[in-house]
Copies of this chain bind each other. A is one copy, B any other.
Amino acid sequence: MTYSIGEFSKIVGLSEHTLRFYEKEGLIKVNRDDNNVRIYSDENKLWIESLLHLKNTGMSLKDMKRFAMWGHMGDKTMEERLALLKKHRKKVVEELEKIRQSLEHLDNKINFYENEVGDCFS
């Protein structure tokens, strides 16, 4: 399947502006038809979804750019990409633990408030 930018925008949940911006930044390479109109493929979809996973885990655009650049350079950059992903993974795990702890704190606070409110209103 192929998609126009309008269709693709809806599918991946990024605005057309953002898709063009990502392309300009080198995050994604997109084919064009004879009239220079972008033709997005399912491969593009998988790639964007991968990028969005990196983004979801807090990777900066800058690092995503490096990753994409290496991706476009082919197999000889595998090691670099792997190193980047591993380093990123470490940060994600740390961040996850931090959030988990803060969530625990939040739960304690909610419990506290529920008891207080309970005492006051029931």
Contact = CB atoms under 8 A, between A and B. Distances in A.
Contacts of A102: 52-54, 56-57, 92
B105 A96 contact: no
Nearest to A78: B117
Interface string A75-105: 1001101100110110011011011111101
Nearest to A113: B82
Contact of A93 (B75, B86, B98, B103): B103
A107 interface: yes
Contacts of A50: 105, 109
A68 to B, nearest CB: 13
A105 B88 CA distance: 13
B96 A109 contact: no
A81 B116 CA distance: 12
Contact of A57 (B58, B103, B120): B103
Given A82-B114, A96-B100, A105 B53 contact: yes
